[in-house]
Amino acid sequence: MDGQRAARHPAGLRELKKQRTRDALLRAALELFTTRGYEETTVDEIAEVVDVSQRTFFRYFASKEEAAFTIQSMVESYFVAELRRRPARETPFEAMHNAVLDAWNSINEAIEALVPVELHLRTYRLIESTPSLLAAHLRRATELEERVALVIAEREGLDVETDPRPRVAVAAFSGVMRVTGRLWGQRETGLDGLLELTESYLDQLVPTLAGDWPRTRGS
């Protein structure tokens, strides 16, 4: 349902156990996914690591897939939150750009509360390289796009249904984000490399679309 789970709920031994089970299942799942491969990991194996029945796994996660995207959901929530926080003076593009940077900087501790960040990065690479997970990832991305488009429209005082610009801007922006995300997954650079890559790609978007491509090869 939500992304953040902290020590805020009324406690209770029951709640505690539930969270423990869920966290254990999540960690076990991601660990198995990233070492053995997603398709090669069965839900029974995950459940067995946590000493729980397969049925119980499906009570915490609607699907095997959902476990793989738990952290990703959190990141998305952070991004949207940061986007809403951007000052109105920024252009839509600047706002999205800055929201991405801010989100990456502030999300780390929230992730670490659930699983090691390093495990999450491995999971991200896995998603990018596993066809079925990549498909799910892209669909989730478009759902996020819709949410973002609504935020942008609100910022600019526009109606998404009559004015195409919010959706067009978001589509172009996320297109670039996807490309950089994929390239980063293929290469070996760390998280800093991603930020750098994203920066340079975003900067080139407008001139690229303008049409004339001077052969200023950067080799």
Partner DNA sequence: AGGCTAATGACAGCGTCTGACAGTTGACCA
Partner DNA sequence: TGGTCAACTGTCAGACGCTGTCATTAGCCT
Token pair for 24:
């254990």
Judged by beta carbon distances under 5 to 8 A according to partner kind, the member of a copy of itself, DNA, none in contact with residue 43 is DNA
Stretch touching a copy of itself by CB under 8 A, among 39-47, 80-88, 104-112, 165-173: 165-173
Is the Cβ of residue 17 or residue 84 nearer to DNA in the bound state?
Answer: 17
Residues in Cβ contact with 165 at an 8 Å cutoff, skipping those fewer than 6 apart: 156, 158
**Among all chains, which residue has been given the structure tokens 């992304």?**
3
What residue ranges bind DNA (CB under 7 A)?
A: 12-15, 17-18, 21, 41-44, 51-56, 58-60, 62-65
Measure the CA–CA gap between 211 and 219, rounded to whole angstroms.
20
Nearest partner of 143 among 177, 182, 174, judged by Cα: 174
Does 201 bind a copy of itself (CB under 8 A)? Our answer is yes
Other CB atoms closer than 10 Å to residue 196's CB: what's the count?
Answer: 13
Tokens describing residue 198: 């994203």
CB of 46 to DNA, least distance (A): 8
**Does residue 122 bind a copy of itself (CB under 8 A)?**
no
Told to check if 199 binds a copy of itself by CB under 8 A, we report no
Asked whether position 108 contacts a copy of itself by CB under 8 A, the answer is no
Please report whether residue 196 would count as binding a copy of itself according to CB under 8 A. no
Whose CA is closest to 67, among 49, 85, 94?
A: 49
CB atoms within 10 A of CB 66: 15
Closest to 99 measured CA to CA, from 138, 141, 152: 152
Least distance CB 87 / a copy of itself (angstroms):
15
| Closest to 47 in 3D by CA, of 30, 75, 28 | 28
Both tokens of 21, joined, read 């089970």
Q: Least Å distance between CB 59 and DNA?
A: 5
For 53, residues 6+ apart whose C-beta sits below 8 A from its C-beta are 47
Task: Name which of residues 88 to 107 contact a copy of itself (CB under 8 A).
Answer: 91-94
Q: Choosing among a copy of itself, DNA, none, which partner's interface includes residue 172 (Cβ < 5 to 8 Å by kind)?
A: a copy of itself
**Beta carbon nearer to DNA, 105 or 132:** 132
Contact set with a copy of itself (CB under 8 A): 91-94, 131, 134-136, 138-139, 141-142, 156-159, 162-165, 167-169, 171-172, 174-176, 178-179, 182, 200-201, 204-206, 208-213, 215, 217-219
